[in-house]
């Protein structure tokens, strides 16, 4: 299965049709091709994945608490998207804990 991650942050208030439009306009792909299309918000703490399943769109939405999603580096794909495999998708969905900032006592 082909899996694409959008390199640019996306407004995740968009639903099925808005994300399908982003697939066409930003990624240059066909949303009904059967591939998975993954999107992150600007803070990288929210994730949506869109795919076509025989007769309709499916949408996975995940929000992290005290963690963030990290997009894998490198990989193939156009300038706007990154193509990843299933293992990289699993790592992406797991997220990474945010580093705790040390506060100095003055």
Tell me whether residue 104 is in a domain: no
Whether 105 maps to a domain, the answer reads no
Query: Domain residues for 37?
Result: 3-97
Q: Is residue 103 part of a domain?
A: no
Over range 39-48, report the average pLDDT: 96
Summarize the confidence of residues 55-62 as an average pLDDT: 96
Distance CA 76, CA 47 (A): 20
Q: Report the mean per-residue pLDDT for the chain.
A: 89
Mean pLDDT for 3-24 is 95
pLDDT band at residue 73, thresholds of 50, 70 and 90?
confident
The answer to whether residue 106 sits within a structural domain is: no
First to last CA, the chain: 54
pLDDT at 22: 96
Asked, for residue 69, whether it belongs to a domain, the answer is yes
Within a domain: 102: no
pTM over 0.75: yes
What whole-number distance in Å separates Cα of residue 6 and Cα of residue 40? 7
Please tell me the total count of domains within the chain: 1
Q: Which residues of 51-88 are buried (b: 16+ CB within 10 A; e: fewer)?
A: bbeeeeeeeeeeebeeebbeeeeeeebeeebbebeeeb
């Amino acid at each position: 299965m082909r899996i694409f991650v959008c390199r640019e942050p996306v407004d995740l208030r968009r639903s099925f049709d808005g994300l399908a439009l982003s697939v066409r306009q930003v990624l240059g792909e066909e949303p009904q091709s059967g591939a998975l299309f993954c999107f992150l918000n600007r803070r990288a703490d929210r994730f949506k994945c869109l795919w076509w399943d025989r007769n309709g769109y499916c949408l996975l939405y995940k929000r992290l608490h005290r963690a963030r999603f990290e997009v894998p580096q490198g990989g193939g794909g156009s300038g706007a998207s990154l193509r990843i495999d299933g293992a990289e998708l699993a790592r992406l969905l797991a997220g990474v804990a945010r580093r705790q900032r040390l506060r100095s006592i003055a």
